[in-house]
Amino acid sequence: MKVGFHSPLPPARTGVADYSAALLRALRPLGQVEVNARQADAHLYHLGNNRLHEEIYRRALVVPGVVVLHDAVLHHFLLGTLSENEYVAEFAYNYGAWSEDQARRLWRNRARSAADPQYFRYALLKRVVERSRAMVVHNPGAAQMVREHVPSAVIHEIPMLFEKPAETPAPSELLRLRQKMGIASRTFVFGVFGHLRESKRLAAVLRAFERVRRALPIALLVAGDFGSSDLARAVAPFLRPDRGIYHIGFTEEPDFALYTAAAGACINLRYPAAGETSAISIRLMGAGKPVIMTSGLETSRFRETSCLRVDPGVPEEEMLAEYMLLLASSPFDAERIGRSAAAFIGENHAPGRVARAYWQALTA
């Protein structure tokens, strides 16, 4: 069987590209896989919530295949690629003609789409799900969104692949990094990694950090580019080394591996959720780091002992501060959670296991 593989790939600065490159390496021992093949027995399309996927989305509608939803909410993607009339028509196709007025309101206020929960409530999945032979999702939250749009859809829930790095930074490299940044050896380091959107709850993270820093020596690495100039301006006064916060910006490998290894724990909140499984969380858990994440269907498959979950809404900041206190004050507990995380990811997200599940979905 020949598989056509359609996805952004490195050097595109997106997690989907890195994931797809790893999946390609795992799939090729199982059979013939060709990137951007025009003719194939089965096509595998990777869709995310940005314009890098525009041509892939359109091809998936014309030549049906198996679609991987890296984000189960395609609303923002369609807002960025359709005209107003096309967007309203697409909204009505998904939710009925009665919804056109709502669609026009959402279009007029689309500048708020990065943080307004309304835009996450409408996933706009119906067309691509109806046209596809099967859908691949990484968690029950995404599966639920698909079923809400097309109850008869064929859905394969496949864990997100984790490819263990060939090399990890040496302790001497981590020591030099701390010395370079001026972080004392006994200071516990938290990290926020990845594209910095409003949904990563950075403002709440910074407030919780300030509370915990009054009680314990901690530091915070913020590594990633801002997706919004408004968010960047709002948090800029807090991103200062004299406050224990170090904004690094986007980093390529191997520097990214160095910064993640330097963190004792990762904070990776997502609200509102878009049905995505965080590749950052998988990577950090696989490396044996405790990860504080938002509770929900998207994170429900992780073993209770392998992560720390924060409830969204009113309890968020209080719970986050408590978990940060726990990890920073008890290295034993942090290491225990990290070991459990690494064991869980190694068992359930191994490349060979994930690739076989994909191949079964494609042959089916």
**pLDDT tens digits for range 174-227:** 999 999 999 998 999 999 998 888 889 999 999 999 999 999 999 999 998 887
DSSP string, 238-257: G--GGGTEEE-----TTHHH
Which pair of structure tokens corresponds to residue 310?
């924060």
Residue 100 lies in a domain: no
Pairwise CA distance, residues 350 & 343, whole Å = 11
What integer pLDDT is reported at residue 174 of this predicted model? Answer: 92
pLDDT value at residue 177? 92
pLDDT value at residue 227: 77
Look up residue 14 and give its DSSP letter.
Answer: S
**Does residue 90 lie in a domain region?**
no
Query: Could you tell me if 176 and 314 lie in one domain?
Result: yes
Is residue 145 located within the same domain as residue 190?
no
Residue span of the structural domain in which 146 resides: 2-74+123-161+350-363
Q: What is the mean pLDDT of residues 107-129?
A: 93
CA angle 259, 261, 262 (to 5 degrees): 65
Quick check: 21 pLDDT over 90? Answer: yes
Residue 273, pLDDT above cutoff 90: no
Residue 107 maps to a domain = no
Model confidence at 168, pLDDT cuts 50, 70, 90, reads confident
- State the Cα–Cα distance between residues 62 and 82, nearest whole angstrom: 17
Residues 293 and 210 in one domain: yes
Q: Angle at Cα 239 formed by Cα 216 and Cα 326, nearest 5°? A: 25
The tens digit of pLDDT for each residue in 133-155 reads 999 999 999 999 999 999 999 99
Query: Is residue 52 very low, low, confident or very high in pLDDT (cuts 50, 70, 90)?
Result: confident
Are residues 148 and 211 both part of a single domain? Answer: no
Characterize 129-166 residue by residue with b for buried, 16 or more Cβ atoms within 10 angstroms of its Cβ, and e for exposed. beebebbbbbbbbbbebbeebbeebebbebbbbbbeee
Both 343 and 204 in one domain: the answer is: yes
Is there a single domain that holds both residue 144 and residue 238? no
Contacts of residue 279, defined as CB under 8 A and 6 or more positions apart, other chains included, come to 15, 18, 19, 160
pLDDT of residue 142: 97
**Predicted local distance difference test score (pLDDT) of residue 115:** 81
Q: Which residues pair with 188 in a beta bridge?
A: 218
If asked whether residues 35 and 61 sit together in one domain, one would say yes
Residue 269 confidence (pLDDT) above 90: yes
| Residue 205 shares a structural domain with residue 134 | no
In a domain, 166, yes or no: no
**Rounded distance, CA 310 to CA 56, Å?**
35
Q: Which of 314, 315, 270 is nearest to 292 (CA)?
A: 270
Q: What is the CATH number of the domain that holds 251?
A: 3.40.50.2000
One domain, residues 239 and 209: yes
In degrees and rounded to multiples of 5, residue 83 shows phi and psi of -75, 170
Q: Tell me the two tokens of residue 36.
A: 């951007």
- How many angstroms separate the Cα of 309 from the Cα of each of 42, 272, 320? 38, 15, 9
Q: pLDDT value at position 252?
A: 80
**pLDDT at residue number 85:** 97
Question: Is residue 198 situated within a structural domain?
Answer: yes
**Helices then strands (H, E): number in the chain?**
16, 12
> CA–CA separation, 341 vs 335, rounded Å?
10
Q: Which residue has the tokens 């090729």?
A: 28
Classify burial at 223, counting beta carbons within 10 Å of its beta carbon; exposed 0-12, middle 13-18, buried 19 or more: buried
Query: Which pLDDT value is given to residue 229?
Result: 83
Please report whether residue 101 resides in a domain: no
Q: Give me the sheet containing 265-268, strands edge to edge.
A: 245-247, 218-223, 188-193, 265-268, 291-294, 308-310
Kindly state whether residues 219 and 139 are assigned to the same domain.
no
Q: Are 59 and 47 in contact (CB under 8 A)?
A: no
Residue 17 lies in a domain: yes
Instruction: Kindly report the average pLDDT of the chain as a whole number.
Output: 94
User: For 310-331, how does the pLDDT look when each residue is reduced to its tens digit (9 = 90+)?
Assistant: 999 999 999 999 999 999 999 8
Q: What percent of the chain has pLDDT over 70?
A: 100
Residue 51 reports pLDDT greater than 90: no
Q: Give the position of tokens 């530091």.
A: 219
My answer on whether 220 and 271 are in the same domain is yes
Confidence of residue 124 (pLDDT cuts 50, 70, 90): very high
Residue 61 inside a domain? The answer is: yes
pLDDT score of 23 more than 90:
yes
Number of domains within the chain: 2
Residue 41 shares a structural domain with residue 188: no
234 confidence band (pLDDT: 50, 70, 90):
confident
Q: Which of 108-122, 138-152, 226-240, 344-358 is the least confident region?
A: 226-240
Q: What is the pTM of this model?
A: 0.92
Grouping H, G, I as helix, E, B as strand and the rest as coil, residue 42 is strand
